[in-house]
Amino acid sequence: MDNRYKKRFEQLNIQNRKAVIPYSMLGFPNSQQSYEIIRQMIKSGVSALELGFAFSDPVADGPIIQNASYKTIASNFSVVNAFDLIADVRKIDEDIPIGVLVYFNTVLSQGIDKFFKKAKECGVDGVLIADLPPENSMEVQPAALKHGIDLIFLLSPLTATNRIKTILAHAGGFLYLVSRLGVTGITERNAIDDLSLTSLVKTVQEQTTLPICAGFGISNPNDVQAMLNIGVDGIITGSRLIEIVQNDNREMLEQLDEFFNDMLAVCAGHRTLPLLK
């Protein structure tokens, strides 16, 4: 089977569209709704999925995702449940790329090989381990290779030029550009910071054909536009989505649909928004 990330980004490229990758926490707010939320993403036509495993100590995450993690763990939603849910999602859509976002201890506690094997079985395409820098990726590389799973890595605004090579040496799927200093969450973007990202994106693009998607703090069409302007190939959005889910009113799925459509519209070039200061 072909690499779904590769295929999907090629399609998008042909259509002159950018990727919209929503992040959702597996099992939040509960198993059933989590499934429905993810199904809605696919229905709304998002480009790929980024599904998170809840972890007790998510240091890269802000309050919104932390809170979702605690609740998910408290509900006894287990790693096994999470894999089962992914398998169910894969049944909805054979083609959509599925990435999972985990902390390293989750992988370790399952056994590295077992984790990647299981992931593959459930239809996962990529694994991003939030606290595993490329320097330590040899710990998981053999298992990833063996089971044909891409390792997705983070790039940060502070990543020094000499580290880009190390990252690219191990990276697959796409590059996850942390679009600002700080943890995940909803904060107003800073135009100055965004500008300085442009050169990083350029430098990276000169060295790789891997697409670059920006995440952290992307929560509305303006943020999306800002990211597209600096030249990325797609965006990842998470905290805002969880916020909508948390409010948990009847029209949650419709709200999500609307949210995705707004983002997708910008990414399809149907709307171009001015850069906010």
Partner 1 sequence: MMNTGRYGQYGGIYVPETLMPALVQLEREFLKFKTDEENNFYYRELLANYAGRPTPIYYAANLSKNWGNSIYLKREDLVHGGAHKTNNAIGQALLAKVMGKTRIIAETGAGQHGVACAMAGALFGLKTEIYMGEIDILRQNMNVQRMELMGAKVHAVKTGSRTLKDAINEALRDWIKNVEHTHYLLGTAAGPHPFPSIVKFFQQVIGEEARAQVLLKNKILPDYVIACVGGGSNAIGMFSAFLDDRQVKLVGVEAGGEGLDSSKHGAVLNKGTVGCLHGMKSKVLQNEDGQIQEAHSISAGLDYPSVGPEHVYLQEIGRVEYTAITDKEAVQTYYELAQSEGIIPALESSHALAYAKHLCEQNKNISVLINLSGRGDKDLAEVEKYGQSL
Contacting residue, 117, 120, 147, 163, with partner 1 by CB under 8 A: 163
Q: Say which amino acid occupies 249.
A: N
Under the binding rule (CB under 8 A), the answer on residue 148 touching partner 1 is no
CA distance 217 to 239: 8
Q: Cβ of residue 248: shortest distance to partner 1, in angstroms?
A: 21
The CA distances from residue 186 to 42, 213, 223, in Å, are 23, 17, 10
Number of neighbouring beta carbons within 10 Å of residue 182: 12
Per-residue binder mask for partner 1 (CB under 8 A), 216-245, x = binder: ------------------------------
- Closer CB to partner 1, residue 11 or residue 203? 203
Q: Is 61 a catalytic residue?
A: yes
Under the binding rule (CB under 8 A), the answer on residue 196 touching partner 1 is no
SS3 177: strand
CA distance 260 to 254: 10
Binding footprint of partner 1, residue count (CB under 8 A): 41
Extract the tokens encoding 157. Answer: 């605004």
Cβ atoms of residues 121 and 87 within 8 Å: yes
CA distance 181 to 196: 12
Under the binding rule (CB under 8 A), the answer on residue 3 touching partner 1 is no
Contacting residue, 1, 14, 160, 192, with partner 1 by CB under 8 A: 160
Q: Is 50 a catalytic residue?
A: yes
Sign of CA dihedral 153, 80, 27, 7: positive
Cβ atoms of residues 253 and 37 within 8 Å: yes
Under the binding rule (CB under 8 A), the answer on residue 103 touching partner 1 is yes
Of 50, 150, 194, 233, the catalytic one is 50
Contacting residue, 55, 83, 116, 174, with partner 1 by CB under 8 A: 55
Under the binding rule (CB under 8 A), the answer on residue 195 touching partner 1 is no
Q: Cβ of residue 243: shortest distance to partner 1, in angstroms?
A: 17
Binding site for partner 1 (CB under 8 A): 55-60, 62-63, 66, 70, 73, 78-79, 103-110, 130-133, 135-136, 153-160, 163, 167, 178, 181-183
